[in-house]
């Protein structure tokens, strides 16, 4: 059976559902294909879940940081019940470089934040267990976002606007249009064949494999990072270590637990990669430098996520993935296929807007983006959101402790 659609979106993570919602709101007929049994099966469900203020990237990538700040504000408006307004602290310990602290602080101000400077005493009032060695810090508008709720609500909105959402739909092959037909043909394992005017490859760390199905090249260089959820109640703000990016520099509050992260290790195969004990040990040890009680806290679960990093960008930046900015890539070998890679959960709506602008330009659709102005379904109803999460099978390890 062949199903016709205007745009096929491959991947049901934040980026894919974001693209489906944006296009559907502009009146485009969209079919989304996700290989997992539920949505949110890839990196989106395996992140720290920080709603970045942009402070983390302010000095290394001011544009990306400004995007984060803007999207942070938008998501609080359109998806309040997916967000915990925890706030964030950047803390400098005695051995950390004071010049880096100053650079970060200045850079935060330059991108439009108003960080509040705090001395050791004020930091201790906010986080009583903070390390003795803490010297200074500042507060920023970080938050904590539930990827499961955000992805499910975005998918529900896409569906309300006419998109078809399919899980258990692994794309196995893509034929670029030939001869007079510019249509692309997308084959799904044990499923229908989709004939589409355009195809969006939003397959995250698997985007290189998906592009290759269409005979196109996409130099992906995924890196893995571990997250360790431990018992520690009522932390309050997201704790960030204020130093050059390194292993184990973030602690994210999750009610009765905190999630510690992370590492960055290159991975060849996104389906088969090592999960090393040293990553867990180092992450706990480094995070305990900020919050000593973590050293002995019971580990509740560990999980790994894969950054969908685009190689040309990464090589320019020395490989550690200092920026998590995104790339939109067209392919001469497969006209009509657009790949979108990189980025952050925080900026998923902005990435989707850029993709939809491009695809709509190609299809001759003039409608503007409306995703920043219209609240998501269940925007301020946690119970409704959790129903949607269950319906779309979207619970991931990032917030399996939070979503009821």
Ligand X SMILES: Cc1cc2nc3c(=O)[nH]c(=O)nc-3n(C[C@H](O)[C@H](O)[C@H](O)COP(=O)(O)OP(=O)(O)OC[C@H]3O[C@@H](n4cnc5c(N)ncnc54)[C@H](O)[C@@H]3O)c2cc1C
Residue ranges binding ligand X (CB under 6 A): 10-16, 33-36, 41-44, 47-50, 52, 170-171, 202-206, 210, 225, 261-262, 305-308, 324, 343-346
- Distant-in-sequence, close-in-space partners of 98: CB < 8 Å, separation ≥ 6: 92
Choose between 135 and 168: whose C-beta lies nearer to ligand X: 168
Cβ neighbour number for residue 128 with a 10 Å cutoff = 8
Minimum CB separation from ligand X for residue 51, in Å? 7
Question: Which helix or strand (DSSP H or E) is residue 280 part of?
Answer: helix 277-290
Find where tokens 């005979």 sit: 215
Most distant pair of Cα atoms in the chain: their distance: 71
Minimum CB separation from ligand X for residue 126, in Å? 20
Minimum CB separation from ligand X for residue 135, in Å? 25
Minimum CB separation from ligand X for residue 345, in Å? 3
Minimum CB separation from ligand X for residue 260, in Å? 11
Minimum CB separation from ligand X for residue 44, in Å? 3
- Distant-in-sequence, close-in-space partners of 228: CB < 8 Å, separation ≥ 6: 259, 260, 261, 280, 283, 284, 299, 301, 302
**212: alpha, beta or left? (left if phi > 0; alpha if psi -120 to 50):** alpha
Q: CA 234 to CA 195: how far, in whole Å? A: 51
Residue of this chain nearest to ligand X (CB atom): 13
Question: Which helix or strand (DSSP H or E) is residue 259 part of?
Answer: strand 257-261
Q: CA 249 to CA 55: how far, in whole Å? A: 13
Question: If DSSP codes are grouped into helix, strand and coil, which group holds residue 216?
Answer: coil
Choose between 211 and 291: whose C-beta lies nearer to ligand X: 211
Choose between 102 and 282: whose C-beta lies nearer to ligand X: 282
What is the number of alpha carbons within 13 Å of residue 212 lying toward its C-beta? Answer: 6
Q: CA 133 to CA 136: how far, in whole Å? A: 10
Minimum CB separation from ligand X for residue 97, in Å? 24
- Distant-in-sequence, close-in-space partners of 65: CB < 8 Å, separation ≥ 6: 54, 55, 56, 57, 58, 107, 108, 111
Minimum CB separation from ligand X for residue 33, in Å? 5
Choose between 120 and 265: whose C-beta lies nearer to ligand X: 265
Choose between 134 and 259: whose C-beta lies nearer to ligand X: 259
Q: Are 91 and 139 in contact (CB under 8 A)?
A: no
């Amino acid at each position: 059976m062949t199903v016709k659609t205007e745009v096929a979106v491959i991947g049901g993570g934040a980026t894919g559902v974001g693209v489906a919602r944006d296009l559907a709101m502009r009146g485009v007929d969209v079919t989304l294909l996700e290989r997992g049994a539920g949505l949110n099966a890839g990196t989106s469900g395996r992140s720290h879940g920080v709603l970045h203020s942009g402070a983390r990237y302010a000095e290394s990538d001011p544009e990306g940081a400004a995007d984060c700040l803007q999207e942070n504000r938008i998501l609080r408006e359109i998806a309040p019940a997916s967000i915990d307004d925890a706030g964030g602290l950047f803390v400098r310990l005695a051995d950390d470089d004071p010049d880096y602290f100053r650079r970060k602080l200045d850079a935060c101000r330059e991108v439009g934040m108003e960080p509040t400077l705090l001395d050791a005493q004020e930091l201790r009032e906010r986080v009583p267990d903070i390390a003795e060695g803490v010297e200074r810090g500042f507060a920023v508008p970080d938050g904590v976002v539930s990827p499961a709720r955000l992805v499910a609500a975005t998918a529900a909105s896409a569906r309300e606007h006419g998109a078809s959402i399919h899980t258990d739909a692994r794309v196995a092959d893509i034929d670029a249009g030939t001869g007079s037909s510019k249509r692309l043909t997308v084959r799904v394992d044990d499923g229908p064949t989709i004939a589409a005017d355009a195809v969006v490859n939003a397959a995250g760390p698997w985007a290189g494999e998906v592009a290759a199905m269409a005979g196109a090249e996409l130099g992906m260089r995924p890196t893995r990072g571990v997250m360790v959820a431990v018992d520690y109640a009522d932390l309050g703000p997201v704790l960030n270590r204020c130093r050059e990016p390194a292993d184990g520099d973030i602690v994210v509050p999750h009610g009765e637990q905190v999630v510690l992260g992370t590492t960055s290790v290159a991975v060849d195969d996104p389906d088969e990669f090592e999960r090393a004990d040293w990553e867990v040990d180092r992450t706990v040890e480094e995070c305990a430098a900020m919050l000593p009680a973590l050293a002995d806290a019971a580990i509740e679960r560990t999980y790994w996520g894969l950054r969908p990093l685009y190689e040309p960008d990464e090589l320019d930046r020395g490989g550690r993935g200092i920026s998590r900015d995104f790339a939109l890539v067209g392919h001469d070998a497969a006209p009509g296929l657009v790949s979108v890679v990189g980025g952050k959960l925080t900026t998923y709506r902005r990435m989707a807007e850029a993709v939809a602008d491009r695809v709509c330009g190609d299809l001759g659709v003039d409608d503007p983006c409306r995703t920043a102005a219209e609240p998501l379904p269940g925007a301020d109803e946690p119970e409704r959101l959790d129903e949607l999460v269950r319906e779309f099978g979207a619970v991931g390890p990032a917030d399996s402790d939070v979503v009821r």
